[in-house]
Chain A
């Protein structure tokens, strides 16, 4: 666990980058620091591995004050992924990945073997090992960056806007890949971004910071969306909070009805479309096992009759869910009613993982 205790970073010119920050980063989960530029999120991240030293306050890593640890030693035990990957242009991919093992004095053979495992782990073709960074695409470079950070199997991973320099499609796949990796590795990850959608997608806990280096709210993403602590957080979260929140509700509980006769399927039981007078109409599908309520609702909205088709992994129809079935679940997960004036006030309890109140000014 990483803890910030009254941490302040003040520069010589008087600028306060981080102002009296206190929070806990839970072990084995992704904690996202998010906020507009100038909110001190990157500074906070870099104080953990002492690329920047705090002016006052304490940061502890599993109980030990980071300032008691020699910085290079501390850093070799913490993975770091930087924006634009920051790969060493003069080293082959395999040696880039093996950087920290080399620094730790591993033999070349052992370090390279480990590097090859990691390339595979992050979904890269091992054939790229002998290439130089300039020969890789931005997305591939960023994967190498992640592999390099993981090379010495550090328990903690710091990620500084790692996916912000790649196009949206690549970014989405890198995000999915990170979530997949994290489900296997269970690292303690601190992830910095200015993109609230990325924060909500990746974070088990999201710490929203405001300009001047103050924590505005720290909560699980679902809680954040339904109960923003103040106007700043609400504005920062942006539009469609209600819809986006549905991403955090599993579609597993949607009540399914048997497949009606006007749903046309092929011989394997895969849906082809809805039978109408003019032929087949489009249909929307969701997989109750893996998809969220948002996907189910979307599938319903895509069908002319407002009915979503539930399918299994192979795409075979398992049943259908009309809007009434989706509505039932929506009602069940309605935000808490008490004391929620449109202006929004903090306080009150709610469900949601990693839910803890920040310390708004």
Chain B
């Protein structure tokens, strides 16, 4: 028996786009969708919920506690809970991952709004901003760097967590791991790891770029 190489390039070439659902490119696409939807849903929910937690302070402690408990649950447990509701579909992965994203994003929104310096908020009031406009034009924009920092964590962890979905056949690139383990064939595993890491680095890089473009005013403030 000849020694199995770590990477068989011909296998990659044959399976990159073979048209089937197990093609690497199809898995990559699935992975991207399943990793980003939870972050998107998470952000949409975390913004109003975070605002509510700032407006009604008593809400924050129970919300944060609930989110932390959710975060401490192994993702597999959550998947199995939703498996009975949503079956072997993407939703069984996307819904739990949305909860994980929320656990990071709600505190990020709350901390972001708390990061608005008091003199800034007060001068906005004194200039004659009404509450809604003050929130949209002053407080949220000033909160952006902190919210984006949370978004980076949520995005990268979501990209990594999707692979666990492979256990129910919805793991994007994670499916390559199962394939590899079952056949004692390393190439799919290496491909999966490399692509997930690249995806995470790319997504994080894009978010950093977005931060630079969105908040040119914040770069030096941290050192100031």
Which A residues are closer than 8 A to B by beta carbons?
Answer: 49, 51, 71-76, 80, 82-91, 99-100, 103, 132-135, 145, 148, 158
Q: Are B215 and A90 in contact (CB under 8 A)?
A: yes
Q: Are A82 and B130 in contact (CB under 8 A)?
A: no
Q: What is the size category of the interface that chain B forms with chain A?
A: 20 to 34
Query: A158–B123 Cα gap in the complex (Å)?
Result: 12
User: CB within 8 A of B217: which of A72, A82, A86, A89?
Assistant: A89
- A84-B119, A85-B119, A134-B224 are known contacts. Are A90 and B126 too (CB-CB below 8 A)? no
* Chain B residues positioned under 8 Å from A73 (CB to CB): 128
Q: State the Cβ distance, A5 to closest chain B Cβ, in Å.
A: 23
Q: Are B123 and A90 in contact (CB under 8 A)?
A: no
6 examples of A-B residue contacts, CB within 8 angstroms: A72-B128, A80-B127, A82-B126, A88-B138, A134-B217, A134-B224
B113 within 8 A of A: no
B125 within 8 A of A: yes
A82-B119, A99-B127, A103-B127 given; 19 more Cβ-contact pairs under 8 Å: A49-B126, A51-B122, A71-B128, A75-B128, A82-B123, A85-B119, A85-B123, A86-B122, A87-B123, A88-B120, A88-B138, A89-B142, A89-B218, A90-B138, A90-B141, A90-B142, A90-B217, A103-B128, A134-B224
Q: State the Cβ distance, A205 to closest chain B Cβ, in Å.
A: 23
B37 within 8 A of A: no
* Chain A residues positioned under 8 Å from B122 (CB to CB): 51, 82, 86
Query: A86–B127 Cα gap in the complex (Å)?
Result: 11
- A88-B138, A88-B142 are known contacts. Are A80 and B221 too (CB-CB below 8 A)? no
Query: A99–B170 Cα gap in the complex (Å)?
Result: 51
Q: Which of B183-224 contact A (CB under 8 A)?
A: 215-218, 220-221, 224
* Chain A residues positioned under 8 Å from B220 (CB to CB): 134-135
B78 within 8 A of A: no
* Chain B residues positioned under 8 Å from A88 (CB to CB): 120, 123-124, 138, 142
* Chain B residues positioned under 8 Å from A87 (CB to CB): 120, 123
* Chain A residues positioned under 8 Å from B119 (CB to CB): 82-86
Which B residues are closer than 8 A to A by beta carbons?
Answer: 117, 119-120, 122-130, 138, 141-142, 144, 215-218, 220-221, 224
Q: Are B117 and A86 in contact (CB under 8 A)?
A: yes
Q: Are A76 and B128 in contact (CB under 8 A)?
A: yes
User: CB within 8 A of A133: which of B128, B144, B215, B217?
Assistant: B217
Q: Are B142 and A80 in contact (CB under 8 A)?
A: no
Query: A202–B72 Cα gap in the complex (Å)?
Result: 60
Q: State the Cβ distance, B217 to closest chain A Cβ, in Å.
A: 4
Most B CB within 10 A of own CB, among A74, A86, A145: A86
Q: State the Cβ distance, B192 to closest chain A Cβ, in Å.
A: 41
Closest chain A residue to B140 by CB distance? A90
Q: State the Cβ distance, A142 to closest chain B Cβ, in Å.
A: 11
* Chain B residues positioned under 8 Å from A72 (CB to CB): 128-130
Query: A87–B126 Cα gap in the complex (Å)?
Result: 12
Q: Are B221 and A89 in contact (CB under 8 A)?
A: yes
Query: A90–B218 Cα gap in the complex (Å)?
Result: 8
Query: A71–B119 Cα gap in the complex (Å)?
Result: 18
